Amino acid sequence: MRSARTAAAAFMVAAVAMTAAGCADVQGDDSSLVGVAMPTTTLLRWVDDGEDVQEQLENLGYDVDLRYAENDVATQVQQVGEMIDEGADLLIVGAIDGTALKDQLARAAAADIPVVSYDRLIRDTPDIAYYATFDNLAVGTMQGHSLARAVGLEDAEGNKIEGAGPFTLELFAGSPDDNNATVFYEGAMSVLDPYISAGDLVVTSGEKDFATIATEGWDSAKSGERMAALLTEHYAGGKRPDAVLAPNDGIAISVIEAIRSHGAPAGVVVTGQDAELASVKSIVAGEQTSTIYKNTQLLAEVAVSMGHALLSGREPETNDLTSYDNGVKVVPTMLLAPQLVTQDNLERVLVESGAFTAEEIR
Ligand code: BGC
């Protein structure tokens, strides 16, 4: 999968590099070391993120220390500490727990090491310089509209179809320690809540608030267990909800599996995020309804460009100076655009763009 992504996105990435870095031929100082901390290898997206960031930094002449922490907060805290101790000149951090890195980042600041927050906002610290991410609120609203449209409550323009419904729904959210999870939830609920209030969507279990529906560590084993329990308790006799809001593909696949094991008929609307290969195949097969494609190679490019600018004494490019308050300051941010993927546009968005080959997704 990665080779297809890499080859086809190369041109686009080079183009962004030229713009965002100011000039493509500025090389990193030979002695400069960049510490790259990524959360986990359990989702393919993070494997790609880490490798792309590393490759692009090395192309600019930097040495790179890339570490994954397998969703263990203490491990990541230790890894970041070691990067500081070994003399990193820059840190690019995809945090596991958005608040746990505070002390290490204070040490980084004391040593004049700038920090770029990668994909997830690091919270409660003044010691991050910039944030590179996707428009996370838009991810959530896209998921909400995708669900509403697929059950038949909305037309393609997002307008309510009067007289449709009511439809049953269950809700899942991501990890409470990941700032993104709250933003995805807010985005999705901004679309779904009015339908719930109007009785067009009915959350059969009544489980709706973020804390109740969150999935610790984005752990799909946990979401699978919760879905199985919901089905047993509220959908006896092989029944199933009409729709499930799943915040990412790992959770979506676990939900679909639980519905299958429950012996319920197919045809449940299930959202997702990340365009992980298993979910892309599931959409092709008519199981999962949608995913959100986030071109993480471009995200890597933005983060690398930000870091390179900081180490070269230039100001990184941003496009959002208001949305991401981390509890201490509003962090200057570069937001990239996510794309909704359904059966209707999958070929164009994922195959024609070169993210996947036609063979990979069948
Ligand atoms: C990312 C998602 C990912 C999730 C679980 C979020 O912070 O934005 O793309 O699915 O973490 O790793």
343 within a domain of the structure (yes/no):
no
Task: Enter the tokens of residue 340.
Answer: 């909704």
**166 and 241 part of one domain:** yes
Task: List C-alpha distances in Å: 147 to 91, 238, 245, 287, 336.
Answer: 38, 22, 7, 13, 22
Distance 13 CA to ligand 1 centre (A): 21
Of ligand 1's listed atoms, the one at least distance from the Cα of 119 is 8
Atom in ligand 1 nearest the alpha carbon of residue 40: 12
Structure tokens at 71: 């969703």
Answer yes or no: do 104 and 50 share one domain: yes
List the CATH number of the domain containing 185: 3.40.50.2300
Does residue 346 belong to any structural domain of this protein? Answer: no
First to last CA, the chain: 12
The one-digit pLDDT tens for each residue of the chain (362 residues) are: 344 444 344 334 433 443 444 433 455 555 799 999 999 999 999 999 999 999 999 999 999 999 999 999 999 999 999 999 999 999 999 999 989 999 999 999 999 999 999 999 999 999 999 999 999 999 999 999 999 999 999 999 999 999 998 999 999 999 999 999 999 999 999 999 999 999 999 999 999 999 999 999 999 999 999 999 999 999 998 899 999 999 999 999 999 999 999 998 889 999 999 999 999 999 999 999 999 999 999 999 999 999 999 999 999 999 999 999 999 999 999 999 999 999 999 999 999 989 999 999 98
Instruction: Verify that 154 and 66 share a domain, yes or no.
Output: no
Dist. CA 34–CA 310, nearest whole Å: 12
Instruction: Kindly state whether residues 110 and 216 are assigned to the same domain.
Output: no
Assigned domain for 239 exists: yes
Number of domains the chain contains: 2
Beta carbons of 296 and 337 less than 8 angstroms apart: no
Could you identify the atom of ligand 1 that is nearest to the CA of residue 180?
7
Q: How many angstroms separate the alpha carbon of residue 300 from the centre of ligand 1?
A: 14
CA of 59 to the centre of ligand 1 (A): 26
For residue 21, give both structure tokens: 């870095």
141 and 69 in one domain?
no
Lining ligand 1 with CB less than 6 A are 43, 45, 119-120, 174, 178, 180, 218, 248, 273-274
Apex CA 227: angle with CA 222 and CA 228, to 5°?
95
Domain that holds residue 85: 4-128+295-337
Domain boundary pick from 229, 261, 293: 293
254/154 same-domain check: yes
Q: How far is the CA of 248 from the centre of ligand 1 (A)?
A: 7
Inside any domain, residue 21: yes
Statement to judge: residues 106 and 254 lie in one domain: no
